[in-house]
Amino acid sequence: MSGVNDIRSTFLDYFRKNGHEVVASSPLVPRNDPTLMFTNAGMVQFKNVFTGLESRPYSRATTAQKSVRAGGKHNDLDNVGYTARHLTFFEMLGNFSFGDYFKEQAIELAWNLITKDFGLSKDKLLVTVYHTDDEAADHWKKIAGFSDDRIIRIATSDNFWAMGDTGPCGPCSEIFIDRGEHIWGGPPGSPEEDGDRFLEFWNLVFMQFDQPEPGVQVPLPRPSIDTGMGLERMASILQGVDSVFETDLFKGLIEATASVLGKRPEAGNVASYRVIADHLRSSCFLIADGVLPSNEGRGYVVRRIMRRAMRHAQLLGASEPLMYKLVPALVREMGSAYPELVRGEALITETLKLEETRFRKTLARGLGLLADATETLGAGDRLDGETAFKLYDTYGFPLDLTQDALRQRDIAVDTAGFDAAMERQKAEARASWAGSGEAATETIWFGVRDRVGATEFLGYDTETAEGVV
């Protein structure tokens, strides 16, 4: 069986043998890039190399990159626990060409790795290409011997990859595997494509453009290659399991949770175990990279992730803080590949313990209020914004935690009402300050307050409005 550690090294070794420099993962907080909340793909650390602003002593590279998709353009927070393939933290394996090889060789390298080294059966594989990309389609036909029906042309942004609203981008070709009829889902482009039967595991991006500002595309100085393969997804394929949560690494984390709680996962609660394992990884890796829970920006995202996990721990009947007790299991599974976890273990443990101890004080009461407020509600109903705001303001419930709590009962939250309640509270606070006579101080105070509020709001908007590209 191929464990995640073997798969990671097989990938990196393969590209090293093919002339690629093995480069370390960059931190989860992108350096000098305020446009991006977290590193969400392998190409992020090479952004300026693609655009020609920066040069490196190599023109081919390969990485295993820590990635978080829980905010900003690529946000999978709401998918975790509900699909078989989405995590908020995952490792993206990638190979990169900076003006060196292009489409044909990228496809050839990928094909040889998956069919020879990883031994995937050709009959189960299929690919997508951007609808106008005849070149990529021809290469697939020639290299893989695919018939036309296994090369699916897609016209949406799914096959035009972009890091964010600005930065390098280009048409892409995604590789899928059909895992069989026992899993719900249809091929890409079909109405059932969101299912997990046809699993996308590798995206080959043909970097051709830079977007200096949203909507403007200029050709890159040299066409380049950027690819991303989800390590956990490849592990699920090679280990013959139906979801990333059943791979060796996640089994270890879920086992650790079960042993701390003294109870086994069952059909009715397995999603909570999965959410906890995923959120543990993203929280710990973010803290190790210096993102501490706070009320704004990146720190608020990590707080939201941690609190969501804590609600699931509560659901599983945890009678005391749980997350910090799982840190040793994570360090055991991933500490050798990521020594920052070992170095940060004490800080991570303390941060989780403090946050959970604090939040548990209001969590149970907040959940009680939520239960009362939704007692008479049923599927298709909406919780009023006032209550959601009270949960946020008084009990420390991030809006998405409340939404997550109600999702299983198919109850939505009136987010416009929530925003209005937030605005009203701000206005009231302003009014009660009026007349203190210190105009200058007030302006500064409300300036800061508005900015902090705005940051939080942006977090919510970005999530609900943009979704995943």
Nearer to ligand ATP, 85 or 307 (CB): 85
Query: Would you say 48 or 83 has its CB closer to ligand ATP?
Result: 83
Q: Which has the closest alpha carbon to 409: 378, 373, 370, 368?
A: 378
**CA separation for the pair 190, 201 (Å, rounded):** 18
Phi-psi region of 62 (alpha: psi -120 to 50; beta: other; left: phi over 0): beta
Q: How near is the Cβ of 203 to ligand ATP at its closest, in Å?
A: 3
| Binding of Mg ion by 218 (CB under 5 A) | no
Please state, in angstroms and rounded to a whole number, the distance separating the CA atoms of residues 186 and 303: 36
CA-based nearest residue to 351, from 387, 306, 407: 306
Closest alpha carbon to 343 in 327, 324, 355: 327
Residue in the shown chain whose Cβ atom is closest to ligand ATP: 230
User: According to the binding rule CB under 5 A, does residue 468 interact with Mg ion?
Assistant: yes
What is the C-alpha to C-alpha distance for residues 372 and 381, in angstroms, rounded to an integer?
A: 15
Out of Mg ion, ligand ATP, none, what residue 50 binds, judged by CB under 5 to 8 A for its kind, is none
203 binds Mg ion (CB under 5 A): yes
**Of residues 71 and 385, the one with the C-beta less far from Mg ion:** 71
Which residues sit opposite 22 in a β-bridge?
62
**What's the closest the beta carbon of residue 264 comes to ligand ATP, in angstroms?**
25
| Calpha distance 292→29 (Å, rounded) | 12
CB of 269 to ligand ATP, least distance (A): 22
Report the nearest approach of Mg ion to the CB of residue 468 (Å).
Answer: 4
Report the nearest approach of ligand ATP to the CB of residue 189 (Å). 12
State the Cα–Cα distance between residues 239 and 229, nearest whole angstrom: 16
Q: Is 387 in the site for Mg ion (CB under 5 A)?
A: no
CA distance 341 to 328: 10
Which of the residues 173 through 202 are near Mg ion (CB under 5 A)?
174, 200
Residue 218 tokens read as: 């200029």
H or E segment and range at residue 391: helix 385-395
Q: Which is nearer to ligand ATP, 80 or 370 (CB)?
A: 80
**Residue span binding Mg ion (CB under 5 A) among the ranges 167-175, 204-212, 278-286, 350-358:** 167-175
Minimum Å distance from CB 15 to Mg ion? 19
Q: 203 vs 272, which CB is nearer to Mg ion?
A: 203
CB of 352 to ligand ATP, least distance (A): 22
What residues make contact with ligand ATP under the rule CB under 6 A? 69, 76, 85-87, 90, 92, 200-203, 228-230, 232-233, 468
Amino acid in the structure at residue 1: M
Cβ proximity to ligand ATP: between 202 and 460 the closer is 202
Structure tokens at 178: 């059909």
Task: Note the residues at the interface with Mg ion (CB under 5 A).
Answer: 174, 200, 203, 468
